[in-house]
Structure 1
């Protein structure tokens, strides 16, 4: 009796047929990608305020929002925008080291390609020389800190000391954007010396049903879907999506990703409508959880 050939899994057979959605890349990735950043009214307001403060050399800007409201995507957008400009150099800290002010300074220095020092004063001197040199070249350094609600009082002290640096013309020698959960506001009140130096504050709240619809449409267009094609998600499908996700952008994208994958398993469907969404939620209420 001959042995059966070993079973092999053809991964191409199980790859989603994104062409059927009319897109060239997956439209609902939950990774922070500036290409897919939907500009809601609040996001536009935050971008406008913070961009003005950065370019006017006003110092520190703060953006707060709950988990899933788009802070990390916004941080990536600011970094991408300003690091490409010849009059700026940008460093992004995705997650600050715990507690230590020196470790934070060392992380920032490493992002700018500077030498890291073992003593706080030596590291500040390294920064001072760098900032003066950049100022002479007409370049303004920008530091972006995501998850800034985890910063300690000691770290706010060191950031304040950096904000005290001045360029030869008397302006602030570098700009700072902090993004974090609402606890960031509480932490700032406990660091009044730094809090007094914040030039602008913005908040990111969950989306409205109308913005939820616009986010879905924008994502599909950004992924390559032709605007002349019939809508993929009907207007009636948006409300159950919004109710399920409570308007949080990351949750919207995760649910829409699963809806698209489920849609692609049905050859006879042309749209994702409200009954389809409701049936999916009834049958797959655990779609957020990894298999046990």
Structure 2
């Protein structure tokens, strides 16, 4: 609705994880560097945690985009972690293009080991990313630990990245997962954006969407946005979107404190 009014080429504050809009704050730069390092050095298990809406999924999409440009890397993406051990193995084999009838009684671990080894011998690397990993059951976590044992004399056959909310940290501290925890060699926890980063984030999104100086958020509007969202990117997107709509309704190219206050009231009404 307000896109044409502000002269934007696209909506700047959609909540979809579009890598084009990724704002690399210091914490996001560090997170991406940890992920790249873990993959490059073949560390096996990599864990990335952060609060809801902090940008984990956008980082994941960015990383996948980078890996897809490398012909020597095959990627596996698991978006539904509420699966059984058997379903996990089926999903991995399916993502690798291996056709296995679900009614089959073959040893799936042996078949997966064979499939991975074949790719490693052909110069491939296999990276698996599991999103919302805090929802993995203990049994599936144990299966992942066993999969991490698959290796040649000099490298792991499968690198595993777990992305999840802070509850994943709590799960990893459980005594029964101590063997799993010992295998995590790269770990990073995403932090919220500070006030200056929040301002840069808003401007980055606007510029990426084609802004040429319009619209403009006042200092106090940005101050209120950071105070309400505490630097959580997804909340910033939601609030800025509604604040832009409020400014559009009153026919203004400047988003002020009052527009943000009205946007907050709308968000609270929505629950």
Same fold (TM over 0.5): yes
CA-CA distance at 1:202 after TM superposition: 0.6
2:21 is the alignment partner of 1:39: no
Counterpart residue number, 2:191: 205
Which entry has the higher C-alpha Rg, 1 or 2?
1
Alpha-carbon separation, structure 2, partners of 1:218 and 1:90: 29
Alpha-carbon separation, structure 2, partners of 1:26 and 1:112: 35
Counterpart residue number, 1:160: 145
The answer (yes or no) to whether the contact 2:38–2:46 under 8 Å persists in 1 is yes
SS in 2 for 1:20: coil
Q: CA deviation digits over 1:149-186, x for unaligned, max 9?
A: 0111111111112211113x521112111011111112
Counterpart residue number, 1:142: 127
> In the superposition, relative to structure 1, how do residues 233 and 152 fare at CA in structure 2: closer, same or farther (>3 Å)?
same
Q: TM-score under structure 2 normalisation?
A: 0.91
Deviates more, 1:215-224 or 1:111-120: 111-120
Gaps in structure 1 of 5+ consecutive residues: 1-15
CA-CA distance at 1:231 after TM superposition: 5.9
Alpha-carbon separation, structure 1, partners of 2:267 and 2:56: 26
The answer (yes or no) to whether the contact 2:6–2:215 under 8 Å persists in 1 is no
Gaps in structure 2 of 5+ consecutive residues: none
Alpha-carbon separation, structure 1, partners of 2:2 and 2:75: 38
Alpha-carbon separation, structure 2, partners of 1:223 and 1:151: 36
Q: CA deviation digits over 1:24-63, x for unaligned, max 9?
A: 1111011122111111111111111121111111111101
How many aligned residue pairs are there? 268
Alpha-carbon separation, structure 2, partners of 1:87 and 1:184: 30
Counterpart residue number, 1:4: none
Alpha-carbon separation, structure 2, partners of 1:120 and 1:91: 23
The answer (yes or no) to whether the contact 1:258–1:287 under 8 Å persists in 2 is no
1:11-22 aligned at under 5 Å gives the runs 16-22=1-7
Q: TM-score under structure 1 normalisation?
A: 0.85
2:184 is the alignment partner of 1:181: no
2:257 is the alignment partner of 1:274: yes
